[in-house]
Chains A and B, each alone.
Chain A
Amino acid sequence: MSGISTLGNRLYRGEASYNIVGKSRTWYTVSAVFLTIAILTLIFRGLNLGIEFKGGAEFTVPVKNATTQSISDARSSVKATGVTPANVTIVGGDKIRIQTETVTTTVSNKIGAALASTFAVKDADIKVQLVGPSWGSEVSKNAARALLVFLVLVALFLATYFEWSMAVAALVALAHDVLITVGIYALSGFEVTPAAVIGFLTILGYSLYDTVVVFDKVKENTKGIAGSSRMTFSEAANLALNQTLVRSLNTSIVALLPVLSILIVGVALLGAGTLNDLALALFVGMLVGAYSSIFIATPFLAFLKERTAEMQGLQKRVNAKRKNSGGTDSVSVAVVSDSLSQAGPRKQRVKKPRSSR
């Protein structure tokens, strides 16, 4: 622990520094690979939507020591009522879940009664969920609308509190997080339930929260930078990243701990359901969100800023100054982007006075 604290100090003072912004190409490549896999899976495999989105009926019967025999029992019991079950699975070892197409309440009552007598349980102990065919599309429409409104509002807020390029960078990181999380759902075939959608939507807030904290430091470090000639925007942003690295690490761990606890307790006690669906989406999303706020949002912001005439001028001045001072270690090249191969020190000597070199 004290190792991290000391590292925190060295990061803060620029004595230890990870050149995150400079290596942006590596992070972009990693993310591009994940994004490609996510998008391809979404297109070719699609999401495994829960009955809340497709419409249908779901019966959950408590069964002690559920076996494959119980599955075929359930199947034949439901078939006897004239409905062919689409999907019968054992959940958490002590429950059997039967999903069917959309049925009327009368038929669903019949199925419930049939299952109750097959497994010798009380009628009321069977959990029943009926979803009309139009419900799911309405839920998704609402979610999409919520997403759109939220994005517009948050873009406006970020543009006001920070500036437009920061809003764009934050939203790019956000799209990155959600796409990858949804892609993981498509890839793994986890069922997308309303709880999972809640999870996706929460990632929006969390991912931005993380990015806001980092950008706040970037804003502070780059205040009035255009008028100076000490370091480029990319370097200042990288320093901000390094200075908030310990914080980012801590907040991510602290945010992930409760989610992890929901996941573990949910799996151990309930088998499946709201808690797990939610926690899984959150767990994946927060991991990706923590990654993107460090490795995607800030490098992308630097990329956007370095294209402006103001920051290009700053680059030239910084370079000229470093050449004049004659330091050999300060002109090692860090690739910021394709269009800019710009000099920047790999080791930032921010605290050390120039005169002592």
Chain B
Amino acid sequence: MAKHYQPKRSLIYLAISIVGLIVWAFLPGRDHAPRLGLDLRGGTQVILSATAAGDKAVTSEQLGQTLSIIRARVDGFGVAESEVTTQGSGANTKIIVTIPGETDRTVVDQLKTTAVLNFRPVVASDSGSPIPTPTPSVSGKKGVKVSPKPSSEKATPAPSLPASYFEPPIQTKEVSQKFADTFAALDCDGSKILEGGKIDDPEQYLITCQKDKTEKFVLAPAALSGGDIQSAKASLPSGGAGGWQVDLTMTTAGAKKFADVTKSLYTQKAPANRFGIVLDGVVMSAPSVNEAILGGSAVISGSFTPEEAKGLAQVLKYGALPVALNVDEVQQISPTLGNDQLQAGLLAGAFGLLLVILYLIAYYRALGLVAVASLVVAALMSYVIFIILGNTIGFTMTLAGIAGAVVAIGITADSFIVYFERLRDELREGKRLRGAAAQGWERASKTILAAGFVSFLAAFVLYYLSVGSVRGFAFTLGLTTVIDVVVAFTFTRPIVNRLAENKWMNSGSSMTGVSPSRLGVTTVSEVSN
């Protein structure tokens, strides 16, 4: 094996892979630096755990619903790069919400509050944007499409009204002139109402917009709430006429309330024959009522796409979170502190690297330079891979992760030391440099692999069985261990192999780090033997 070993080829392959990684990492339209964790750029991290009512285990379906509702709420905060992820599995699943940057302290309350679903009769409606779309309708059996009366002029905020009038929820106990003015002036486009997450009072009137900004409404106090709905599911009626619809079943109490409200609504003229399905203060759908629905089951139909119908059914069914959320941990870090931590982490890394480089050169001389070059290659590969992983699997660099990488400097250098000491041992046995480089590698590579495996095993187990910052640390440690072994095999070995042919390295100069006299081999004959 050693005879056929081609150091040049190995180096070329390594160079090609590194260039490939760099190209991949720096593809246009992506982040060109590792993604930073919250502790390095500031922000809020909330770790939540879910429990189902009555101490039952949370099903994966419930968890999925909860996640999508939380995602919708986090998106509602309007902070770019917010994330909702899960860690762990089964009953131990944790929901981790990260919102970067400076955030309002109330976000935590808003996150875990169960969303409020209300059915509110419509008092008035108007166009939220110039092009209205058909309104769905509600009937006991089949739906009949009823178009709303679109108003032609686009509403613009009256200059006389202060901006605070448009802070959601816009509510009063009675409909006043001021309330009407506010409604007239409301422009759904760009309104804060659509950010959602604002809890409305079901006892009061509400001014709000439809989710798709097409309409705005004045809504009466709630007639029904989410708790009155027993089930909701999307279905395609036989024959497929009218497209997808949502089948709704009320609870016994809900059926009575629904009967009362539909009885009075269907006699009204549009838009007062409609009711708004309001989730977290935003109208999800506002069907009109075609007849009094007494049996407690109804159909909401319209020209729904399958996705729209499923989404609406989900809102109706799970508008309130299907589970209770407990706050396990909240961390709020200001961007200034985050930046301080980042600086400190990088400085520690640079300083640590410098110390190791100085030590290696002082001790191993020319051979030390090989170690330093190997460290630089390993560092470059790690950096590029951190960028790629940030773009592909959302890997974020945390302070603990940086610490892991800094600690890895020492562990990476260990591999080179193991090799160099073996090489020197072979020289002491009287081998020439060339033979020592090959033979030393033969033995050292096994040790490097075994030791690297143990390190990797530790990182792997840590990563799989832990939550939070421990994971970040374990991930970087495991990754750098792998990179270390790769660099030792594809860079350090061929370089040393080439150097062993070098005249100067064989000259016995004390600067080579492999001079027989410095190693204490006393007689020349022993070396040349």
Residues of A within 8 A of B (CB): 1-2, 4-10, 12-13, 52, 60, 62, 105-106, 108-109, 112-113, 122-132, 134-135, 138-139, 142-143, 145-146, 149-150, 153-154, 157-158, 161, 194-195, 197-198, 201-202, 204-206, 208-209, 212-213, 216, 220, 243-244, 246-247, 250-251, 253-262, 264-266, 269-270, 273-275, 278-279, 282
Contacts and interface: CB of A to CB of B under 8 A. Distances in A.
A108 B106 CA distance: 10
B343 A258 contact: no
A108 B105 CA distance: 9
Given A5-B519, A150-B458, A213 B355 contact: no
Interface in B432-472: 443, 446-447, 450-451, 453-455, 457-459, 461-462, 464-470
B428 A209 contact: no
A142 B468 CA distance: 11
Interface string B349-393: 101110110011011000000000000000000000000000000
25 contacts: A105-B108, A108-B105, A109-B106, A112-B105, A124-B103, A134-B326, A135-B329, A139-B468, A146-B461, A149-B465, A150-B457, A150-B462, A194-B468, A195-B403, A198-B469, A205-B477, A206-B455, A209-B414, A251-B414, A255-B413, A258-B349, A259-B407, A262-B352, A274-B39, A279-B403
Contact of A201 (B341, B413, B462): B462
Contacts of A9: 428, 519-521
A195 to B, nearest CB: 6
Contacts of B212: none
A258 B355 contact: yes
Instruction: From A127, A129, A145, name the one whose CB has the most chain B CB atoms within 10 angstroms.
Output: A127
Nearest to B466: A142
Interface size class of chain B, counting residues whose CB lies under 8 Å from the partner chain: 35 or more
B329 A208 contact: no
B110 to A, nearest CB: 10
Nearest to A113: B105
Contacts of A105: 108-109, 327, 330
Given A209-B451, A273-B341, A1 B362 contact: yes
B475 to A, nearest CB: 12
Interface in B460-502: 461-462, 464-470, 473-474, 477
Given A105-B327, A201-B462, A244 B421 contact: yes
Contact of A270 (B330, B344, B455): B344
- Tell me which of B332, B334, B454 has the highest count of chain A C-beta atoms within 10 A of its own C-beta: B454
Contact of B451 (A212, A243, A254): A212
A2 B518 contact: yes
A273 B340 CA distance: 12
B458 A216 contact: no
Given A195-B469, A209-B454, 14 more contacts: A9-B519, A126-B334, A127-B332, A129-B329, A134-B328, A198-B400, A205-B454, A209-B414, A209-B455, A216-B447, A254-B356, A258-B348, A274-B403, A275-B403
B156 interface: no
A264 B474 CA distance: 23
A87 B352 CA distance: 34
Contacts of A113: 105
A6 B520 contact: yes
Given A109-B105, A274-B403, A143 B470 contact: yes
Given A254-B356, A275-B345, A216 B403 contact: no
Contacts of A12: 425, 428
A128 B330 contact: yes
Contacts of B518: 2, 5-6
A265 B351 contact: yes
B510 interface: yes
Interface string B85-127: 0000000100000000011011011000000000000000000
Interface in B253-290: none
Q: Which of A7, A10, A274 has the most CB of B within 10 A?
A: A274
A193 B282 CA distance: 43
Nearest to B513: A5
A113 B106 CA distance: 12
B399 interface: yes
A202 B407 contact: yes
Given A139-B467, A145-B465, A125 B329 contact: no
Given A142-B466, A220-B443, A246-B421, A201 B329 contact: no
- The winner among B329, B345, B468 for most chain A CB atoms within 10 A is B329
B336 interface: yes
Contacts of A62: 336-337
A243 B124 CA distance: 90
Given A5-B519, A109-B106, A127-B333, A254 B413 contact: yes
Taking each of B103, B352, B355, B363, which has the highest tally of chain A beta carbons within 10 Å of its own beta carbon?
B352
Contacts of B92: 138
B410 A254 contact: yes
B161 interface: no
B519 A8 contact: yes
A251 B418 contact: yes
Nearest to B410: A255
Contact of B477 (A1, A202, A273, A275): A202
Nearest to A4: B363
Contacts of B220: none
Q: Closest 7 A-B residue pairs measured CB to CB?
A: A9-B520, A258-B352, A205-B458, A255-B410, A261-B352, A146-B465, A130-B330
B511 to A, nearest CB: 12
Nearest to B398: A274
B425 A243 contact: yes
B424 interface: yes
Given A146-B465, A149-B465, A209-B414, A257 B477 contact: no
